[in-house]
Structure 1
Amino acid sequence: MVTLSDPGMAPGASSPEAAAPAPYPFPGEVTPITPNTETQYNTEEYHLITDNTFHLAKDNPLSTFSIDVDTASYSNLRRFITSGQLPPPDAVRIEELINYFTYDYPQPEGDRPFSITTEISQAPWNPQHQLVHIGLQGKQMVREEIPPSNLVFLLDVSGSMSAPNKLPLVKSSLQMLVNQLSERDRVSIVVYAGAAGLVLSPTPGNQKAKILEAIDRLNSGGSTAGGAGIKLAYEVAKRTYLPDGNNRVILATDGDFNVGASSDSELVRLIESYRDRGVFLTVLGFGMGNLKDSKMEQLADKGNGNYGYIDTEKEAQKMLVTEMGGTLLTIAKDVKIQVEFNPDRVRAYRLIGYENRILQDRDFNDDRKDAGELGSGHSVTALYEIIPTGVDSDIPLPTIDPLRYQTNSSEITDPTGYKADELMLVKLRYKHPDKNKSQLIAEPVVDRQISLENSSNNFKFSAAVAEFGMILRNSEDRGDASFTQVLDLAKGSRGADLEGYRKEFIELVETARELEER
C-alpha cells in the first residue's frame, strides 16, 4: 500500500517545505541500466467505448459532461494508419480527434477564462438532423504572464522502453521542453525500472547543460516499478512546491506498470491526494505493442492533467513547444458543461463522443465532483446531433412510461423566462485552479440554422473529423457517412493551416480509405 506524507498540506500553505524547499536529502543517483532485449508481445489495452445514444428531450432534457482536452487518441490513430492498419474501434475517442485541432474561436473578454461559440447547421451524414457546434476558447497567456514551473519528469526506463520510438523519443521530446524553460523554473528527474530513484535533483531551468546531460545518459532495462516511481515523483514535487507556480509531474511511459504497488485504485488515490494539494499530472504515452492507453488516460484524468501520445518528434514539438502553455498551465479546473434542450424544438439529441466523460445531472452543481481542466490557449469543441421536432426518423428512440406524479415534462418552468426560438441553454461551471468554489456561465442558443455550405470552417472541419471517427468506430449512427464526404468537408475547410495539421488529416483519411478498400 502506498503511504502519503503530509496529506493535509494545501496549495500555498505555509510550511517549512513550501517556504524553504532546499536543502533536503534525496536518494542517490541511479546507475545506468543495461537494455532489455527480451521479445515483446502486443498487449495494448483500451477501455471499451459504447457510443452515446439518442435521448428524448421531453423525458431527458439535460445533458451533462466534463470537458476533455486530451489528444492522445488522434496521434495514436495516426500511428496505426501510417503503419498500414486501421485502429481498433476502442482506440478511437471522437472528442480527442476533434480537440486535436485548433479552431478560430475568439479570445475571452474580461475576467472569464474562456469564450463560448455556438453554431447550428445540418448534420452532413444525416441532412434531416441538425448538428450543434459548441466551442470553448481558453485565454491565451503571454509568456511573461506564465508563472514559474516546478516540473518533475517521471521517466519509465524499463526494458519495454528500449525501442527507438520509446525512450530515445522520450529523451528528444524532453530536450525540446527543457529548451523552453528559464531560470524561474526548476526541473527534477525521477526514473523507474526495477526500482525508482532520482537522477537529477531540483535544478534551475537555465542550467540546461546539466539537465540535458542527465536526460542524455538515461538507458532502459529491467521490470517496471511504476507505483514506486509515481510515489517518489510526487514526494519530490511536494518538497519543491511553488505556492504561486505551476507544480506538475510529467510521466513519460508506455503505461506498463507490472512490478510493485501498481493497482489502479491505489495509484488513483495517490494522484488524487496530490491533485487536491496543487500538484497536477501530465501523462505522455510512447511506443506500440504494450501501450496501456486505458490506464494512462485514467491517471491523467484523476491528476487534473492531460494525456497525449507522442509518436514523432513533430508531435513532441506540438505538445511541448507550440502548445506548451496549454499542456502545462491550467487556467480553469473542474470545467463542466450542462445543456438543457427545449423540447418544443428538439425531439431527440445525442452527444458525439465524451462517452467516458458523462456526468450525472446532479454532478453539475456539486463542487466536490472532479471534472476536466482547461489550459492556456486550449480550445474545447463538443458536437450534438439533434433530431428536430416534427422530423420523422428511422433511428430507434427510447421511450419511458408517462409519469404519474410529475407535471408535463415539456413545460418550461424557468422562472426567469425564455424566448420561444431558443434551441437550448448551455451552462458551464469552472473553478480557478487554486479555488474550490465554482463559477457559473449560462448562454441560450437561438435556433438559427444556416446551410452546411455557408457554415464556418470551424463547423465543417470539426464535423469532418467527427464523421471520420464514426466511420472508424463503425457507429450505428453514422448514417450516410463516407470517406468521400469527410474529404470534401475537410478539403473545403482547411483554412490557413499554418502548421499543416489539417493537411495531414486529409492525408490520413485518404490512407484510411485505401486500407478499407483492400
Structure 2
Amino acid sequence: MKKVYELILLLFIVASCSTNPENDNSFSFSNGNTAEYDEMGEFQTGDQYEEYVENPFVYTSEAPISTFSIDADGASYGNMRRFIMQENMLPPRGAIRTEELINYFNLDYEFNGGEHPIGLNGELSGNPWNSENKLIRIGIKGKTIPESEDVPSNFVFLIDVSGSMASEDKLELLKNGFKYFVDGLGAEDRIAIVTYAGSAGVLLASTSGTEKNTIKNAIDQLGAGGSTAGAAGISTAYEIAQENFIENGNNRIILGTDGDFNVGISNREELIALIEEKRASKIFLTVLGVGRGNLNDAALEQIANHGNGNYEYIDNPEQLRKVFIYDYSKFYTIAKDVKVQVAFNPEVVEAYRLIGYENRILDTEDFEDDTEDAGEIGAGQNITALYEIVPVGNVSENLPAFTVDFRYKLPDSDVSIPIQLEIFDEAKTFSESSDFMKFTAGISAFSMLLSDSEYKGTSSYSQVLEWINSTNLRDEHGFKAEFKEIVTKAKDL
C-alpha cells in the first residue's frame, strides 16, 4: 500500500509541474536543483524567509483610514533576480515583497518639495487586471543634494568574516563592492572597518577618505573563518561610529553578511531589540545581504527596518555598482520616519487594498506619534505605493479628490512635519495613465504572479511585458531592460 501511495504522490508532483506557467506558480528546475517542500507545500531553499502574507481588501465602512511606513529597500528584487536568472527557478513566496520590487528602480519623479526635502506626486487610473476597480499611485521623491552641498561622512564597514561567508558570492563579492565605495570617498569623509566572526575586532581605525590605498589594503586582508557573533559586531560598530560622530554630518554603518548569526545574541527578537536601542544614536544603517543556502533574509530585513536603515541584496557585480556607485547618494538620508495616511470616503470607495508593505502597516494613532519608527528615504531616491480600490456602485466615473497625508522628520530631528498631496480622478483608463503608473503596476502584477496572489485577476506574464513595453522611461544603466528579460524567463519557468 505504501508503494502505491508513493507512486500516486510522484504522479501528482509531475502533474503539478506541468501546468500552464502563465497563471501558475509551479517550479521547474533545469540546473539539477532538488526541490524540497515543507508540510504546507512551500518551497524550501535553506534560506530563512518570513511567512508569506498579503494585504486583503478592507471595507471602508469598517476601517476608512489606512496608515503605513514607507520602505526604501530593494533586497527582494535582487534576490528574486538571483533565483530566476542564476538558479533557473521561481523564488519561494516568502522571498517576494512587492514594495521592494517596485522601489528597486530609479524613476524620474519630479522633485517639487519646495521647502520640504521630499516631493509628492500621484494619480488615479483604471486597473488593468480588474476592470471594475481602479488604481491609486502615490509617489515620493527625495531631494537631490548637489556635490557642493555634500556633508562629510563617518562610515563604518561592519563585515561578517565567519566561516559561512567563505564562498565567492559572499565575502569576495562584498570586498569588491567596498572597494568601489572607497573610490567615492571625499577628503572630509572617514571610514573604519569592523569585522566579526567568533568575536568582533577593529581591522581599521577611522581613516580619512584620502587614504584610499590604506583602506583598500585593509579590505584585501579580509578572510572568512569561524562562528558568527553578530551582536558583538553590531555593538562594536556603533561604538566606533559614535566615537567618530560628525555633528550635522552623515553617520552610517554598512553591514555586509548572510545573516547567519549563531554566537551570542542570535535570537531575531533580541537582535531587533539591540538595533532599536542603537538607533537612538542618530546613526543610520545599511544592510547588505549576500549568498544562498543560509541567507537569513527575514532577520536582515527586520534589522534594517528597526535600525533607521535600508536593506539590499547583492547577487552579482552589476548590483555592486548599482548600490555603491549609481545609487551612492542614497547613503545620505534626507528624511526619516516617513509615514503615509489615506482616509477613504465610504460613500465613494467600497473597499481598498494596499499592494505590498505588509510588514509596514501602522495603527491610525501611530501616524502622529513621533516615537513610532518608520522608514527613511535617501537623497534623490523615489518611493512608490499603489492602492487598488473598489468604487461604490452607481457613483459617477469621476471620483472626488483623494487627500493623502504624510509626516516626516529631518535626519537630526525628533519632531515630525506634516505635508499633504491631493490626487484627482481624471477618469483615465489604464492605457491613458502615465508611464510611471504602467511600469509600477506591471511590477505589481509580476509580483502577484510570482506569489500566486488571489488578487492577480486577469494578469499574465505576457500582459506584464505588454505594459512595460508601452513605457518610455529613462534606463541609464539597463535595469528596466533587464526586468523584461526576467519576466520572459519567469514566464518560461
The two structures have a TM-score, normalised by structure 2, of 0.89
> Contact 1:342 / 1:423 at 8 angstroms: preserved in 2?
no
Aligned to 2:16: none
Gaps of 5+ in 2: 1-43
The separation in 1 between residues aligned to 2:380 and 2:477, in whole angstroms, is 16
Structure 1 residue 63: deviation in Å? 0.4
The alignment status of 1:470 with 2:448, answered yes or no, reads yes
The alignment status of 1:113 with 2:132, answered yes or no, reads no
> Contact 2:338 / 2:376 at 8 angstroms: preserved in 1?
yes
The separation in 2 between residues aligned to 1:484 and 1:388, in whole angstroms, is 27
Q: 2:334 aligns with which of 331, 341, 365?
A: 331
Aligned to 1:449: 427
The alignment status of 1:174 with 2:178, answered yes or no, reads yes
Name the structure with the higher helix share: 2
Structure 1 residue 115: deviation in Å? 1.2
Structure 1 residue 71: deviation in Å? 0.2
> Contact 1:346 / 1:423 at 8 angstroms: preserved in 2?
no
List, as ranges, runs of 4+ consecutive aligned residues in structure 1 with deviation greater than 6 Å: none
> Contact 1:494 / 1:503 at 8 angstroms: preserved in 2?
no
Aligned to 1:363: 366
Aligned to 1:351: 354
Alignment of 1:392-403 (within 5 A): none
Aligned to 2:468: 490
Range moving further from structure 2, 105-114 or 426-435: 105-114
Aligned to 1:135: 139
> Contact 1:494 / 1:502 at 8 angstroms: preserved in 2?
no
The alignment status of 1:223 with 2:223, answered yes or no, reads no
Q: 1:195 aligns with which of 193, 199, 220?
A: 199
> Contact 1:152 / 1:250 at 8 angstroms: preserved in 2?
yes
> Contact 2:142 / 2:377 at 8 angstroms: preserved in 1?
yes
> Contact 1:108 / 1:138 at 8 angstroms: preserved in 2?
no
The separation in 1 between residues aligned to 2:109 and 2:377, in whole angstroms, is 15
The alignment status of 1:75 with 2:53, answered yes or no, reads no
Q: 2:436 aligns with which of 447, 450, 458?
A: 458
Aligned to 1:38: none
Structure 1 residue 56: deviation in Å? 1.4
Alignment of 1:64-463 (within 5 A): 64-82=67-85, 83-326=87-330, 328-390=331-393, 421-463=399-441
The separation in 2 between residues aligned to 1:491 and 1:73, in whole angstroms, is 23
Name the SS of the counterpart of 1:422 in structure 2: coil
The alignment status of 1:499 with 2:489, answered yes or no, reads no
The two structures have a TM-score, normalised by structure 1, of 0.84
One-letter code of the match for 1:511? K
Among all aligned residue pairs of Structure 1 and Structure 2, give the percentage whose two residues are the same amino acid: 48
The separation in 2 between residues aligned to 1:178 and 1:451, in whole angstroms, is 47
Q: 2:486 aligns with which of 502, 505, 508?
A: 508
Structure 1 residue 122: deviation in Å? 1.3
Distance 1:391 1:129, change over 3 A: farther
The separation in 2 between residues aligned to 1:210 and 1:265, in whole angstroms, is 37
> Contact 1:345 / 1:423 at 8 angstroms: preserved in 2?
no
One-letter code of the match for 1:351? L
One-letter code of the match for 2:434? S
Measured against aligned partners, the alpha-carbon deviations of 1:330-371 in whole angstroms (never above 9, x if no partner) come to 111110000011222211110000000000011001111000
The separation in 1 between residues aligned to 2:394 and 2:153, in whole angstroms, is 53
Name the SS of the counterpart of 1:165 in structure 2: helix
The separation in 2 between residues aligned to 1:219 and 1:438, in whole angstroms, is 43
Name the SS of the counterpart of 2:168 in structure 1: coil
Measured against aligned partners, the alpha-carbon deviations of 1:68-104 in whole angstroms (never above 9, x if no partner) come to 0000000000000012000001100001001111222
Range moving further from structure 2, 160-169 or 422-431: 422-431
Alignment RMSD, CA only? Answer: 1.5
The alignment status of 1:480 with 2:422, answered yes or no, reads no
One-letter code of the match for 1:353? G
Structure 1 residue 42: deviation in Å? 5.1
Aligned residues: 447
One-letter code of the match for 2:422? P
Name the SS of the counterpart of 1:219 in structure 2: coil
Structure 1 residue 262: deviation in Å? 2.7
The separation in 1 between residues aligned to 2:302 and 2:394, in whole angstroms, is 39
> Contact 1:57 / 1:348 at 8 angstroms: preserved in 2?
yes
The separation in 2 between residues aligned to 1:449 and 1:206, in whole angstroms, is 56
The separation in 2 between residues aligned to 1:164 and 1:444, in whole angstroms, is 49
The separation in 2 between residues aligned to 1:422 and 1:435, in whole angstroms, is 35
Structure 1 residue 200: deviation in Å? 0.5
Distance 1:42 1:129, change over 3 A: closer
Measured against aligned partners, the alpha-carbon deviations of 1:404-457 in whole angstroms (never above 9, x if no partner) come to xxxxxxxxxxxxxxxx95242200000111111111112332222312222111
One-letter code of the match for 2:220? D
> Contact 1:72 / 1:309 at 8 angstroms: preserved in 2?
yes
Name the SS of the counterpart of 1:46 in structure 2: coil
Structure 1 residue 59: deviation in Å? 2.3
> Contact 1:461 / 1:494 at 8 angstroms: preserved in 2?
no
Name the SS of the counterpart of 1:435 in structure 2: coil
Structure 1 residue 391: deviation in Å? 7.1
Name the SS of the counterpart of 2:73 in structure 1: coil
One-letter code of the match for 1:426? V
